[in-house]
Amino acid sequence: MKPRIFIGSSTEGLAVAQRIKTFFEPDYDCYIWNDGIFQFNEGFLETLLKSASLFDFGFMIFAADDISRIRNQEYNTARDNVLFEYGLFLGRVGIDRAYIIKEDTVKIPSDILGVTLLSYTTTSNQDGIKIPNQDFEMQLSNLKKKIDEKVALGHLGLLPSTVIAISYFENFIKLLADEIIRQGDKIQIGDKIYKSAKIRIVIPRTLDADMKRQATIYFRKIHFESYPITTVHRSYPIYVESTSEGNVKDKAIIADMPTILSGIDKAIDMYFRVGHIGKTQEQKLTEERELNNFTRVLSLLISQEAFCREIVEIVDDDNQPI
């Protein structure tokens, strides 16, 4: 599950945008403004506002497209719509995740001096198209280090999925891990005793309106059985697969598909004012972003808690580690 980057530019800046996309794509899902993001049946501003909510980072290319006369002096400036898009992304994703990538001769407004800038030089090819010079990838590498760190530290904003991940961890996973560690090598689940246990969190690829039913169908297919497990706080329903026969078993795999994720599905429906059956491409992209963020925040929380680090794992619904 990769974080998502939007790359905005003028038509003249598309060659630069494509080079950025090629550089970042191994580790990020990158979309240039002409990749079919914008809808034709909505107003431009409404579509742009929604699209800004689909991405974790925004890169705006300020190419020397126009000449502006300011106080009797002429300057190379970026196209107005690119500057507007930067301001929109700045408001949506925050100053730490909206970046300006500018041609070195471009004058930028004084109000945004001090934000993260990447400046590049260009030469014109045989077709007269300006392309970045060879040191461009080195500068992109430095930018990538910055955003890699933000992803690793969980700096992805207070999305609905962030709050849901924290709630799920604090009110269920952490308590369940504490109880398993407390019981040592005599872990009781139903009428069976296990010598050890592993907690497996299953993240679905898509969200269902009724996550409880989605979880029930999933665990039934892989032959996990439902049992209650009692902690010092309360009893929780869980799904269990055991690895040996008999009354005393070696190891239990305790699995859960977070039904709390249904809150994300409802939030997306409300945001897009859904009045139809099925999901639009925008809804699918937003859903994917929220699932990715939920997983990253949850992974970060698990990595910071000793008991959870020892016994908790996150997999997708094909049982592949995430």
Taking only the tens place, the pLDDT of each residue in 282-321 is: 778 888 888 888 998 999 999 999 999 999 999 999 989 9
Q: Quick one: pLDDT at residue 37?
A: 65
Q: Is 18's pLDDT higher than 90?
A: yes
- The residue ranking higher by pLDDT, 291 or 53, is 291
Two structure tokens written together for 39: 């809808």
Question: Are the folds of 4-152 and 160-316 the same?
Answer: yes
Q: What letter does residue 128 receive in the DSSP assignment?
A: S
For the cut 70, the answer to whether the pLDDT of residue 258 exceeds it is yes
Length of the chain: 322
* Residue 53 pLDDT grade (very low, low, confident, very high; cuts 50, 70, 90): confident
Q: Phi/psi of residue 62, each to 5°?
A: -95, 90
pLDDT at 158 over 60: no
Q: Which fold has domain 160-316?
A: Rossmann fold (3.40.50)
pLDDT of res. 126:
80
Tell me the per-residue pLDDT of 79-125, one tens digit each, with 9 for 90 and over.
888 888 888 888 877 888 889 999 999 988 877 766 768 999 988 88
Q: Between 212 and 114, where is the model more confident?
A: 212
Q: Nearest-CA neighbor of 291 among 224, 196, 191, 211?
A: 211
Model confidence at 281: pLDDT above 90: no
| Single-letter amino acid code for the residue at 207 | L
- The domain spans of the chain are 4-152, 160-316
**Residue 287 pLDDT:** 84
Is 2:27 a contact under the CB 8 Å cutoff? yes
- In angstroms, what CA-CA distances link 119 with 2, 109, 136, 174, 294? 26, 15, 9, 45, 34
Q: What is the pLDDT of residue 247?
A: 55
Mean pLDDT value across the chain: 84
Please report the pLDDT score of residue 245 as a whole number.
55
The answer to whether domain 4-152 has CATH 3.40.50 is: yes
Out of 11-15, 180-184, 271-275, least confident range: 271-275
Residue 234 has pLDDT above 80, yes or no: no
Q: Determine the pLDDT at residue 182.
A: 92
Model confidence at 249, pLDDT cuts 50, 70, 90, reads low
**Would you report the helix, strand and coil content of the chain in percent, each value rounded to 5?**
40, 25, 30
Measure Cα distances from 307 to 44, 97, 170, 197, 299 in Å: 49, 33, 13, 12, 13
% of the chain at pLDDT higher than 70:
87
